[in-house]
A and B are shown apart, each in its own frame.
Chain A
Amino acid sequence: MGKIINKKDIKHIAKLAELKYSDAEIDKITDQLDKIINHITKIGQADTSNIVPTSHVLEITNVYREDKVRISFTREESFKNAPLEDEDGFKVPKID
């Protein structure tokens, strides 16, 4: 089984996903993901010419709501689970 995924890939994917693996963890996850992705590549063998992709198993279309106002949160409800907030909003560290 050839390697599909290497450490560099893992670092790139982790960056996209806003995750972080320590140097100690990275070999393990690389190995695990490589095995899984190797297994997944099996789908490549299926003949899907002229086959449309399925996003929804049900053929439902045009589901809308009317433009009617519903009750919003109170300020307290908004902040109920907030890790850190002040008067005006959710506080977050400096944006980089």
Chain B
Amino acid sequence: MSLINLGAYELNELIKKKEISVFEIAKAYVQRIDEVENDINAFISFDNDLVFSRAREIDKYIKDGNDILDFTGIPIAIKDNVCTKGIKTTCASKMLSNYVAVYDATVINKLNRHRFLMIGKANMDEFAMGSSNENSAFGVVRNPWNLDCVPGGSSGGPAASVAAFETACSLGSDTGGSIRQPASLCGIVGLKPTYGRVSRYGLVAFASSLDQIGPLTRNVKDSAALLEAIAGYDEYDSTSINTDVPNYKSFLNTDIKGMRIGIPKELMIKEIDCEVKSSVNNALRMLEKSGAIVEEVSLPNLEYALSVFYVIAPSEASSNLSRFDGVRYGYRNTKSRTIREMYKKTRAEGFGPEVKRRIMIGTYCLSSGYYDAYYDKAKRVRTLIINDFKKAFLEYDVLISPTSPTTAFKIGDRADDPLTMYLSDVCTIPVNLAGIPAISLPCGVSKNNLPIGIQVIGDILREDNVLKIASAIESEVKWKMNLQI
């Protein structure tokens, strides 16, 4: 068995036993990347030599007798919207194609304490806006299960790189499903933590009140461990939660007997593929067999979630992305004679169509005369959605739904129809609006060999319940991986 087939915790054990060196791990992954990256295009920045020199440094660090933590020497890909000092951080945009980050994001600082092995910066939808990874200035990412299909988005690179064994795990960001949906489409595990659980400092903002960084891994245990490594209070992020980080790994493989699971009927809508539905239902039956109580529940206001999201996220984005103006960093149209001309040309040329579209939507929703009807109204409906979840969690420990209504779709299929594309996130978006945690993990494979994901949603800071149920699904539901590469 090759090293690349091992999960992070298995590698960690081998490193601890001194059975393998980090350099060997690096070599195995670099070799794999050499083999498949042309097909997958999961990375924007990837440098063999840098990976090897880092690996050697970590080996020396270990040799010097330092503590080996969960992610010491473990290859992790970082979504290219997380700032990494001295390394290009492009957000997959022409706007930042030459931008070298001037500081490390808090999550990078935390992982650096582990001496993790940064394998590269992963491709994504430009500024994390998209559900297919087709909106990248660095080219589409292909799904390792079927190279004609999208990997999902916006964390398409982080998801595809994990699924294609180009890295052991990765960090992505999730604003409306950007970790869970690609995890689902690539057949891996993706976790969006509670809003505020992980510091956003150094994550290039899309929608500040919705963004969270989270792990993409090949199994639930790695997910729990990686969350543990990156979670925690940060004085640089006013919205980070100041409570202790639990030992998430301890919630795995526990008895789920008597745990109460709600199935929001608003997320089991007609748009969900039959195959997806039946896979999810199959998983639910397994959970029932393990002693969980499964019931249908109604969260009536979820029907507004997509609309609410497409007011709030673009509104915040329109303001967050104003800073990209060509003055202090990033792309600049150099032929402009006046500042206004420079702004317009820089932004028109530097941003891709989807980013511009969302800036336009957001600017409209915040503009004078429309603020009350759109932005303010959306924030009120958001409260209704939160209240629905609050009510549901009085009765249930977790809620379960499909992650994505469909399996991976063909590249180009939805590219020209923004609204249909937006519908890809219908099951994941409500979670971000409520700020609650959710995981997506594989629960089956479709007839045409594409993975199907199931979403487990918990209450605020109840990642424990999410992990308990996810772990049960992982051990009970069997499926077979069959990559095209």
Q: Which residues of A contact B (CB under 8 A)?
A: 5, 9-10, 13-14, 16-21, 29, 32-33, 35-37, 39-46, 48, 51-58, 60, 63, 65, 73, 77, 80-84, 90, 92-96
Contact = CB atoms under 8 A, between A and B. Distances in A.
13 contacts: A10-B360, A29-B356, A29-B357, A46-B384, A53-B382, A54-B386, A57-B209, A57-B435, A58-B435, A60-B238, A83-B332, A83-B334, A95-B339
Contact of B307 (A35, A39, A82): A39
Interface in B424-452: 433-435
Interface in B174-222: 195-196, 209
B348 A36 contact: no
B171 interface: no
B380 A42 contact: no
A51 B360 contact: no
Interface in B352-373: 356-357, 359-361, 363-365, 367, 373
A58 B195 contact: yes
Contacts, number: 171
A13 B99 contact: no
Contact of B373 (A17, A44, A45): A44
A82 B241 CA distance: 34
A13 B337 contact: no
Contacts of A42: 304, 307
Contacts of B344: 18-20
Nearest to B436: A57
B235 interface: yes
B324 to A, nearest CB: 10
B386 A57 contact: yes
B377 A44 contact: yes
B27 interface: no
Contact of B363 (A13, A56, A95): A13
Contacts of A41: 307
A26 to B, nearest CB: 11
B339 A94 contact: yes
B50 interface: no
Given A53-B376, A53-B379, 4 more contacts: A16-B363, A20-B344, A36-B357, A81-B328
A83 B329 contact: yes
A3 to B, nearest CB: 14
A15 to B, nearest CB: 9
B330 A83 contact: yes
A5 B364 contact: yes
A45 B303 CA distance: 11
A45 B328 CA distance: 43
Contacts of A92: 327, 339, 342
B343 interface: yes
Contacts of A51: 380, 383-384
A48 B360 contact: no
Contact of B367 (A16, A21, A73): A16
A19 B241 contact: no
A92 B209 CA distance: 32
Contacts of B383: 48, 51-54
B153 interface: no
A40 B310 contact: yes
A43 B361 contact: no
A65 B69 CA distance: 31
A56 B341 contact: no
A20 B209 contact: no
B339 A96 contact: yes
Given A19-B348, A57-B386, A60-B196, A52 B380 contact: yes
Contacts of B356: 19, 29
